[in-house]
Structure 1
């Protein structure tokens, strides 16, 4: 049953990721991926703190949302590929900035989401 839950969450997360990336147009800087990953970090923080007691009694729903939906919505592989492409095209400063901002904003937004979820749970 857990596999089906993850599959369903992943289908929705991947679909939403694609729609979001189509709506946000990139220039040299891969803005869509950083926005998606930061939003995913915020959602992960909120989900893992706000619904903590609910998830204890419904572990399949937790896996559907966290591993399935948020896992498919966010993307480490796109971040890695876009960084390699930036480096290959000689955009070294943008590549470094992209990696640093992705890590810092990801950490900040998961902390914000976790804090917000804890306050409202």
Structure 2
């Protein structure tokens, strides 16, 4: 039950963070900037967090609590791949096929690059 509460607390904070960033960045532009930014930055931070935790030892005790609080909870609430799917569908159905495909593929590729950069950054710092 403690693990559940930790994930819920992190998720609530992450969702509020996502809402704040998305509200700040999204405007009348067609490109969903807010969702793109939260997903890419969330991928970077998740890569860094998990790499740093792995270097420090087994997934037990405080490391497990941090992973659940920050990784599963906060970053799970902060990132939003469901919004990516909805926004891509909206662009595709709105006759913005090139932008929709660019957004979808670009988001996934940028997320992968960001996660790899996060892993590399954490490894460099924790050595």
Which band: TM-score by shorter chain?
A: over 0.9
Tell me the secondary structure at the aligned position of residue 51 of structure 1.
helix
TM-score, with length taken from structure 1: 0.95
What TM-score does the superposition give when structure 2 sets the normalisation length?
Answer: 0.90
Aligned residue among 29, 32, 37 for 1:30: 32
What's 1:5 paired with?
6
**Match for residue 90 of structure 2?**
85
Equivalent residue in structure 1 for 2:79, among 74, 84, 91: 74
Is 1:64 aligned with 2:69?
yes
RMSD of the alignment, in Å?
Answer: 1.2
Q: Which runs of 5+ in 1 are unaligned?
A: none
1:107 has 2:109 as partner: no
Cα distance change, pair 28–115 in 1 and its aligned pair in 2 (3 A): same
8 Å Cα contact 1:55/1:61 also seen in 2: no
Number of residue equivalences: 121
Contact persistence 1:10–1:69 (CA under 8 A): yes
4+ runs of 1 displaced by more than 6 Å? none
Identify unmatched segments of 5+ residues in structure 2.
Answer: none
Cα drift, residue 55 of structure 1: 6.6
1:46-93 CA distance string (max 9 Å, x none): 100123226733212211111100000000100000011111111000
